A and B are shown apart, each in its own frame.
Chain A
Amino acid sequence: MTTDSNLDDMLRSLDPLTEELDQSNELRRGEVWAAVVAEPAPVPVRTRVCRHRLIGASSLVTVAAAVALVIGLLPGTAPLSAAAAALQHAALADASSATLPSLASGQYYYQQSTVSMVCQFASPLMGQNAKNLTYVSDGTMQSWTSGSGAGQVTITPSTAGANGSHFATVQDEERWVALGKPFNPCAVMNSSNALNNNPANDNPQNAEGTAGGYAVSLLLYSGFGFNMGWSTQTTQLAAGTSVNNLPDNVSQIASMLANGEINFDGSVSPSPQVCPSGSGQGTVGCSTFEQLQVIEHLLQLPDASAKFGSVLYQVLAQMPGATLVGSVTDPSGRVGKGVVIPIDQNEKLEVILDSATGALLSCTALVADSTGAPLAMPSASGYSPVAQVTFGPISVVQGVGTTSSSSAP
């Protein structure tokens, strides 16, 4: 008969790792590291720049100032490129967007938008060199903004297969089915989409797997200032006031942005800093991309909408290589003008603007197919979308959480 302590000792003695093998493996440390870093570098997790239209009451009284600001930005008599002209038009329209109805006490501006993120995963059931499966996760973004700027932003991930969430291609879905529908970590994006007992995530070959299943790899691309979460995410908005301390002069603001002196919340640092995004890793100042990140955050501050809305378009228009791609259709089927702005050699930002009003319809982050990033699918242009926001119309509602439009006051 075996005693408990004997059993413990004997189980330990089954350890097949010998001291010699352990020491020999330790000598492999350098070579294994070389193999790790020989792999393509991971895709940076970045915050995409996109004009999120949170319109505050302060916009209503600063239309003239905003228009004047835009006009002041026009680069003298130099001819505008088609893309710059489209963006200038959008900047003007941005000011006119403040013609939204004013809000009565307790009312909020409400906007519902669609967020799309590309995600890739591999299952243990797949061969070692098998191509990842690609899934597109959709979610809904709702924002409520009061006249004071207070409010709420809620992002609700879609359940598996719902509201547009889908495998990127028919071939991806067919491979997933043929594998026995292994655990899909990209589809586990809602509290109702439980890991266990969900047919979409059920893996009969891995009944005892962790949390109802597992994947061997998962690549997500976050963008536009947020990641798709595992469940509904709510952020409270407080009225921002610090942006009022920023200058109106665009060149001054541009200089401060380049020097890393403007923080995400609109507060000002006294001297050139490491960019608030931190991705510069110690380098003082912000790259153009990082400046766009800061502006994107500032635009979430209702007080900053009129002040900075046109600045963003100006920054885009001044970026070298901005091109007008002409008439394009956004994910909601709306036709607009597309402008593509190179971010760096592997990344582009496409904005689609309403042809008539210049209002922003959608933003799409595009990444080169060759980067190893999770891509919806390789495209003929060599770039594929990784993240997208499609903006809905703005209406007036009676409170946070309500979505039905009321008549304008």
Chain B
Amino acid sequence: MKTNRRRSENASTPCQGQFETFYNDHFRAISRYVARRIPASSFDGVVAATFVVAWRKFATAPNPSLAWLYRIASFEVARERELLGRQPQTADLNDLDLIDTTPLEDVLDVSKAFSQLTESDAELLRLVYWENLSRNEIADVLGLSVNAVNVRYHRALDRVSGAVNRLASTARADQPTNRNPKEKP
């Protein structure tokens, strides 16, 4: 927002043509972002709400960009989750794109560890690993400095790694140590 009594640039009016181009350029990215975070039944509503808010702000936003859209989408996702009264979805086993070389137990451990993260840590990792955003882009989306994103990213990774190792240790400790249990009489 700027104030300039003698500005030479023009007051602007939202232009549907420009916004339609903007929509078509970014629909795919936003649809993926939303689909990853809310149930399919809410998909249309949340994506549409994101673009409705964007359209209303389009003329006044200093730099409408994909990062700006992600930020709006994050608010709409938060609203929808609150409405649905549920926590962020964790991956179901059937959804996992299992990697051949990775033991299933490890993947499950990471899934569990991921679900134990705070929402802010989890969201940062989603933006890194699912949206494939750069640190600069993530900084724009989250309203943080790049340095803060880097610090949070490494802390979040440490937390996942630590949780995975704890889960693995617990699993080992839970395994029976008596390989020849006494038969019941």
Q: Could you say which of A39-47, A73-81, A158-166, A340-348 contacts chain B?
A: A39-47
Q: Report if B151 contacts A (CB, 8 A).
A: no
Are B3 and A233 closer than 8 Å at their CB atoms? yes
Q: Which residues between 8 and 35 of chain B lie within 8 Å of chain A, taking CB atoms?
A: 8, 10-16, 20, 23-24, 27-28, 31-32, 35
Identify A222's interface contact among B11, B128, B168, CB under 8 A.
B11
Are B36 and A210 closer than 8 Å at their CB atoms? no
CB distance from A398 to the nearest CB of B (A): 22
CB distance from A260 to the nearest CB of B (A): 12
A24's nearest neighbour on chain B, judged by CB, is: B40
Give the CA-CA distance A402 to B106 in the complex, in Å.
70
Q: Number of A interface residues, CB 8 Å?
A: 74
Are A229 and B2 closer than 8 Å at their CB atoms? yes
Q: Report if A127 contacts B (CB, 8 A).
A: yes
Question: What sequence of 0s and 1s flags, for each residue 104-142 of chain B, a beta carbon within 8 Å of any chain A beta carbon?
Answer: 001101110010001010000100111000000000001
Inter-chain residue pair count (beta carbon < 8 A): 210
Are B11 and A14 closer than 8 Å at their CB atoms? no
Are B4 and A226 closer than 8 Å at their CB atoms? yes
Are A16 and B89 closer than 8 Å at their CB atoms? yes
Are A42 and B3 closer than 8 Å at their CB atoms? no
Give the CA-CA distance A352 to B28 in the complex, in Å.
51
Give the CA-CA distance A329 to B99 in the complex, in Å.
74
Question: What sequence of 0s and 1s flags, for each residue 78-94 of chain A, a beta carbon within 8 Å of any chain B beta carbon?
Answer: 00000000000000000
Are A47 and B51 closer than 8 Å at their CB atoms? no
Give the CA-CA distance A277 to B12 in the complex, in Å.
8
Q: List 27 A-B contacts (CB under 8 A).
A: A2-B164, A2-B165, A9-B99, A11-B125, A11-B128, A17-B35, A17-B36, A21-B40, A26-B28, A28-B31, A37-B16, A39-B55, A41-B14, A42-B57, A45-B11, A45-B59, A45-B60, A125-B82, A127-B82, A128-B83, A220-B60, A226-B3, A229-B2, A233-B2, A235-B5, A281-B13, A300-B5
**Residue positions of A touching B, CB distance < 8 A:** 1-2, 4, 6-18, 21-22, 25-26, 28-29, 31-33, 35-37, 39, 41-47, 52, 124-128, 153, 155, 208, 210-211, 214-220, 222, 225-230, 233, 235, 237, 264-265, 276-279, 281, 293, 297, 300
- Kindly list the 10 A-B residue pairs having the minimum CB-CB distance in the complex, ordered from nearest: A210-B143, A233-B3, A278-B10, A35-B48, A216-B75, A44-B13, A47-B11, A10-B110, A226-B3, A42-B56
